[in-house]
A and B are shown apart, each in its own frame.
Chain A
């Protein structure tokens, strides 16, 4: 239990170098193709990711899409352009809300799940057992999970964007009935293009990578019995929520900055 106001930043500072070194090692293992030696394990992790996390991630994306929809409908009614609710939905969903919803649910479901799972292995000395058997535990446990995330998550992310779009359509057209279906979709598709989807996906993937790496780090370095696993899980969530917001801001700044990428104006 922290007793001082500066405990959280001090904790980050003291583990920053460790985390960076750990992330670098895991990424190198993936890029050098060593994770492919355990391709079966990678596929198993990918399956766990799909079966365990897809529904909740899409569920959160759907709820956030609904909220975006009603806010957009009421805002556009207020400015006297209710038929333009599609602009708000297109930008809010695709560019901002979906990456954040994805990042939140990833850190809650996948990030803390990884800490609990790998941390329990560390506590019951299974990781040492792997090393004794001559299997590189870092490759087997962390790199395979990162590779699995990279294989599965782009598709899961795009499906989440679809869930958000569908929810916004339901909220604006069916629930509030501010604009006709055709009018909504005309504006909605006009104000987005494939590069926007690509940028949004890159943003989501950057968050996912950070979350998986942070989860693996806190699990891999857990100590202090069952209680230690719980504490490590809580700590990973602290770092993940902050990093999700920072990655989201940097992504917006890099990809859109002060260039609106809209089909109007000069």
Chain B
């Protein structure tokens, strides 16, 4: 009776911890086999890189313009209009776009669009027993499938962040035009408040988001099992873990960056 109750309470936790541990092991193996020669993953890397670009550019474009126009553009603009300081919207966009929403919208889209595609792809191979066949042939699935996806996703997420930044600021420009305000002051305050620390912080953050997305998607895809529902279930669990991981990491990173670099939050 006590045993049953304890099992009921602790089995999900144990399961979760085991999965986290497995993902850590997969991360370690991926990093090691990325560094250790030979390097057979060049072609696959280029293919995955282009695949991500082709898949994500339009969802990311629509999402960042919509988010930039709505949340920071209209709401913060409204607040600044009360004080007759709508020209400060540009300065606010450094905080809003570069530091916060461009990175996490990029991560959400890459996880939701790219990560799910990777999980579905690898899950399909696992279900069709192609992964086992590869191992029988002496081809290491980690080196040939996980490493190229890991590297491609890291680089593509970091680069997409710049793309998201530009289109997020376009959303801010649209919001400024909605308030009938001139664009010159918007760009003036944007550029005078933007710092290099913000930019590298943003790119570093998204690159690490890419690593989280790649490891979770590959892990969930490669361990998919259980009939018709298996691959769908794997995609579902993978994207939930990715979202929680991304936002938890985002909180820790933002807090660390803001606390260790006080000069970036000085308004100029």
Contacts from A to B (Cβ < 8 Å): 1-5, 7-9, 56, 59-60, 63-64, 66-67, 70-71, 74-75, 77-79, 87, 91, 95-97, 100-101, 104-105, 107-109, 112-113, 115-117, 119-120, 123-124, 225-227, 229-234, 237-238, 240-242, 245-246, 248-249, 251-253, 256-260, 262, 264-265
> Is B4 in contact with chain A by the CB < 8 A criterion?
no
State the majority secondary structure of interface residues on B: helix
B113 & A241 in contact (Cβ 8 Å cutoff): yes
| In the complex, B119 has a CB within 8 A of chain A | yes
Contacts of A253 in B (CB 8 A): 69-70, 74
Indicate if B63 sits at the interface (CB-CB under 8 A): yes
A4 to B55, CA, bound (A): 9
Asked if residues A230 and B235 are in contact (CB atoms below 8 Å), the reply is yes
Q: Which of A67, A87, A95, A109 is in CB contact (< 8 Å) with B247?
A: A67
List the B side residues contacting A3 at CB < 8 Å: 54
Contacts A70-B258, A108-B112, A237-B113 hold; do A230 and B123 have CB atoms under 8 A apart?
yes
CB of A256 within 8 A of CB of B66, answer no
Bound state CA distance, A238 and B62, in angstroms?
Answer: 12
Within 8 A of A (CB), among B187-208: none
User: A92 → chain B, closest Cβ, in Å?
Assistant: 8
Q: Is the CB of B267 within 8 A of A2?
A: no
Give the size of the chain B interface in residues (CB under 8 angstroms). 67
- Complex Cα spacing A10 to B148, Å: 28
Is B258 in contact with A74, judged by CB distance below 8 angstroms? yes
The interface-forming segment of B24-32, B137-145, B155-163, B225-233 is B225-233
| Min distance, Cβ A129 to any Cβ of chain B, angstroms | 14
Q: CA separation between A63 and B123, bound complex, in Å?
A: 30
Check if B54 sits within 8 Å of A67, measured CB to CB: no
**Closest A residue to B51 using CB positions:** A1
Chain B residues near A87 (CB, 8 Å)? Answer: 79
B235 near A78 with CB under 8 A, answer no
**Interface positions of B from 18 to 71, Cβ below 8 Å from A:** 51, 54-55, 57-59, 62-63, 66-67, 69-71
Query: With contacts A77-B265, A116-B229, A230-B119 known, is A108 near B55, CB below 8 A?
Result: no
On whether the beta carbons of A237 and B116 are closer than 8 Å, the reply is yes
- Pick the contact of B99 from A71, A240, A258 — CB < 8 Å? A71
**CB neighbours of B247 from chain A (8 A):** 60, 63-64, 67, 101
- Which 6 pairs, one residue from A and one from B, show the smallest C-beta to C-beta distance? A116-B232, A230-B231, A260-B78, A265-B82, A120-B229, A234-B116
Asked if B170 is an interface residue, CB under 8 A from chain A, the answer is no
Identify 21 residue pairs between A and B in the complex whose beta-carbon atoms are under 8 Å apart, listed by A's number.
Answer: A1-B51, A2-B55, A8-B54, A9-B58, A60-B244, A63-B250, A70-B254, A105-B240, A108-B112, A119-B228, A227-B120, A227-B124, A227-B231, A229-B232, A230-B224, A234-B119, A237-B112, A237-B239, A241-B63, A246-B66, A256-B74
Cα–Cα distance between A122 and B51 once the two chains are bound (Å):
29
Chain A nearest Cβ from B169, distance in angstroms: 15
* Closest beta carbon of chain A to B202's beta carbon, Å: 14
Chain B residues, CB < 8 A from A257: 74
Chain B residue numbers with a CB within 8 Å of A107 are 112
- Interface centre among A124, A245, A259, by most chain B C-beta atoms within 10 angstroms, is A245
Q: How far is the CA of A59 from the CA of B240 in the complex (A)?
A: 11
The answer on a CB contact under 8 Å between A227 and B128 is yes
User: For residue B127, which residues in chain A have a CB less than 8 angstroms away from its CB?
Assistant: 226-227
Given A2-B54, A233-B120, answer yes or no on A113-B82 (Cβ-Cβ < 8 Å). no
CA distance A112 to B220 in the complex (A): 14
Residue of A nearest to B255 (CB): A70
Q: If A66-B251, A234-B235 touch, does A225 touch B54 (CB 8 Å cutoff)?
A: no
Supply 19 further A-B pairs (C-beta < 8 A) apart from A67-B251, A97-B71, A258-B78: A5-B57, A8-B54, A67-B247, A74-B258, A75-B95, A104-B243, A108-B112, A112-B239, A116-B235, A119-B229, A226-B127, A231-B120, A241-B59, A241-B109, A249-B70, A252-B71, A253-B69, A258-B77, A258-B81
| Cα–Cα, bound, A77→B265 (Å) | 8
In the complex, what distance in Å separates the CA atom of A224 from the CA atom of B242? 27
Instruction: Write the chain A residue with the least CB distance to B267.
Output: A78
When A230-B234, A233-B232 are in contact, do A78 and B82 touch as well, CB less than 8 Å? no
Residues of B close to A242: CB separation below 8 A: 59, 62-63
Closest chain B residue to A61, Cβ basis: B247
Q: How far is the CA of A95 from the CA of B92 in the complex (A)?
A: 17
- In the bound complex, residues from chain A placing their C-beta under 8 Å from that of B108 are 104, 241
Contacting residue for A116 out of B69, B112, B233, B255, CB 8 A? B233
Min distance, Cβ B191 to any Cβ of chain A, angstroms: 17
Q: B249 to nearest A CB, angstroms?
A: 10
Segment 240-268 of B: residues with Cβ below 8 Å from A: 240, 242-244, 247-248, 250-251, 254-255, 258, 265-267
The answer to whether B74 and A258 touch across the interface, beta carbons within 8 angstroms, is yes
A74 vs B257: C-alpha distance when bound (angstroms): 11
Of all chain B residues, the one with the shortest Cβ separation from A117 is: B229
